[in-house]
């Protein structure tokens, strides 16, 4: 059983050498008398920014640290090979938390969703039909209270979450601008995802001025994925009674000390609602979300770009690539193609 092992807790930017491959033996059958566990073959693994925090020694965090010397884990798509749990049987396809290894024994199957719709790519259950999709849906529709004509700005806009938020905002009749880190990604925003405008934040010296150019009347909704300097510049461009969904702050995850945000006082003077959220609180919306999104995918009204690394051994470099923006779209690792 090939596995990706965390060697030691990570400080600063993660490196490929923080992880190593290990092969162990595993019987493809659950031990006699096991109860409530399932044995799965992992087909696709999801690379998600929050996994960086699990590589550190955490205390009082919403998620738990990985254990050095053991396989890392995350969201994935898996097939059941053996089950001692009444809700799952051999052959079922699932998405949810699993290990970064070829096969896993999952002892907490309440973190799994059964896959009922297989007429879409299975890898989508790591992205548009999985945790990032539900993040975009709950963050935009539950936190941002969008109205037709709202001015919407999204950072890390071409990624797993951002590309969907932008398309939801267009479907809701909003004016939508996104930022991303390369020209190729900015082209995707405008040509593939239907954003009205996009810009490469790495080309801009003065973020406040570039936002003013795209939003002369100010921003109604900011979908925050990056934090730091971008958040500071956005605050100055927000309108009265505007909303900020604080989804993530990837620019801060590898810093020993966070960069200071200078303009937080704008929250008060402009009566901005800035609300943090965690997708885990919105799992009950998953059936409603599927009902909305599956027809949109099948009718081609929503598109989704994936960046698929082939093979578990390419997993570590795909994962750390999130923090230099190497991924174009949702980063997935194909362990065994389903
Ligand atoms: P992406 O697919 O967008 O991948 C990460 C992207 O972040 C990179 O491609 C890169 O794009 C950008 N990035 C990396 N470093 C920096 C930096 N220093 N400054 C600015 N941008 C940077 O990831 P996701 O869509 O999966 O996640 C987006 C955000 O959503 C993250 O902050 C994540 O933590 C958060 N999240 C929160 C959830 C919640 O429940 N609240 C659930 C899921 C995700 P570029 O080339 O454009 O710089």
Q: Mind listing the pLDDT tens digit for each residue in 128-146?
A: 999 999 999 999 999 999 9
Residue 287 lies in a domain: no
Burial 9-22 (b: 16+ CB within 10 A, else e): ebeeebeeebbeee
**In the chain, which ranges are E strands?**
2-6, 19-23, 38-46, 73-83, 93-99, 103-106, 112-114, 151-154, 175-180, 197-200, 219-224, 238-246, 273-276, 306-310, 330-334
190 CA to middle of ligand 1, Å? 19
d(CA 223, CA 150): 13
Q: Is the CB of 98 under 6 A from ligand 1?
A: no
Give me the CATH number covering residue 241: 3.40.50.720
334 CA to middle of ligand 1, Å? 20
Q: Is the CB of 164 under 6 A from ligand 1?
A: no
Residue 53 lies in a domain: yes
Residue 54 lies in a domain: yes
Neighbours of 263 (CB within 10 A): 16
Residues 118 and 141 in one domain: no
Q: What is the reported pLDDT for 139?
A: 97
255 CA to middle of ligand 1, Å? 15
Residues 161 and 147 in one domain: yes
Q: Is the CB of 135 under 6 A from ligand 1?
A: yes
**Two tokens at 156?**
């890390």
User: In what helix (H) or strand (E) does residue 293 lie, and over which residues does it extend?
Assistant: helix 286-298
Range of the domain at 233: 131-280
Q: What is the reported pLDDT for 338?
A: 58
Residue-wise pLDDT for 33-69, tens only, equals 889 999 999 999 999 999 999 999 998 888 899 999 9
- Report the nearest-CA residue for atom 32 of ligand 1: 248
Residues 118 and 152 in one domain: no
Residue 298 lies in a domain: no
Residues 208 and 193 in one domain: yes
- Report the nearest-CA residue for atom 14 of ligand 1: 323
Residues 184 and 47 in one domain: no
Index of the ligand 1 atom closest to the CA of residue 132: 43
Residue 214 lies in a domain: yes
Residue 288 lies in a domain: no
Residue ranges for the chain with pLDDT beneath 70: 338
Q: What is the reported pLDDT for 59?
A: 86
Q: Is the CB of 80 under 6 A from ligand 1?
A: no
Residues 197 and 234 in one domain: yes
**Burial of 98 from C-beta contacts in 10 A (0-12 / 13-18 / 19+):** buried
98 CA to middle of ligand 1, Å? 21
- Report the nearest-CA residue for atom 28 of ligand 1: 225
Q: Is the CB of 323 under 6 A from ligand 1?
A: yes
Residues 262 and 157 in one domain: yes
Index of the ligand 1 atom closest to the CA of residue 179: 47
Neighbours of 303 (CB within 10 A): 16
Q: Does residue 220 sit in helix, strand or coil?
A: strand
Q: How many Å separate Cα 219 from the centre of its chain? A: 24
Residues 47 and 171 in one domain: no
Residue 257 lies in a domain: yes
**Two tokens at 267?**
């929250």
Give me the CATH number covering residue 68: 3.90.180.10
Q: Does residue 114 sit in helix, strand or coil?
A: strand
Q: Is the CB of 180 under 6 A from ligand 1?
A: yes
Q: What is the reported pLDDT for 260?
A: 81
- Domains contained in the chain, number: 2
């Amino acid at each position: 059983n090939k596995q990706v092992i965390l060697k030691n807790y990570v400080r600063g930017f993660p490196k490929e050498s923080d992880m190593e491959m290990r092969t162990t033996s595993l019987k493809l059958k659950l031990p006699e008398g096991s109860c409530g566990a399932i044995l799965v073959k992992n087909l696709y693994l999801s690379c998600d920014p929050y996994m960086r925090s699990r590589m550190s020694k955490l205390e009082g965090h919403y998620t738990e640290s990985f254990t050095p010397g053991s396989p890392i884990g995350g969201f994935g798509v898996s097939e059941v090979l053996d089950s001692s749990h009444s809700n799952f049987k051999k052959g079922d396809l699932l998405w949810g938390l699993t290990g970064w290894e070829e096969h896993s024994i999952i002892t907490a199957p309440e973190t799994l969703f059964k896959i009922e719709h297989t007429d879409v790519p299975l890898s989508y259950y790591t992205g548009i039909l999985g945790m990032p999709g539900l993040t975009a849906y709950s963050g935009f529709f539950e936190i941002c209270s969008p109205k037709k004509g709202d001015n919407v700005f999204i950072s890390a806009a071409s990624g797993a979450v951002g590309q969907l938020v932008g398309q939801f905002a267009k479907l809701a009749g909003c004016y939508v601008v996104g930022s991303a880190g390369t020209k190729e990604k900015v082209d995707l925003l405008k040509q593939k995802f239907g954003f009205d405008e996009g810009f490469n934040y790495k080309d801009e010296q003065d973020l406040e001025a570039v936002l003013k150019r795209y939003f002369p009347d100010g921003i109604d909704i900011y979908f925050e994925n990056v934090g730091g300097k971008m958040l500071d510049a956005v605050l100055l461009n927000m309108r009265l009674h505007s909303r900020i969904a604080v989804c993530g702050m990837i620019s801060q995850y590898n810093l020993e000390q966070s960069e200071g945000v200078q303009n937080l006082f704008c929250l008060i003077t402009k009566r901005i609602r800035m609300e943090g959220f965690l997708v885990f609180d919105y799992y009950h919306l998953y059936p409603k979300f599927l009902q909305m999104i599956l027809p949109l995918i099948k009718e081609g009204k929503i598109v989704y770009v994936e960046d698929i690394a082939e093979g578990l051994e390419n997993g570590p470099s795909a994962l750390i690539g999130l923090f230099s923006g190497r991924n174009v779209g949702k980063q997935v690792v194909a362990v065994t193609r389903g």
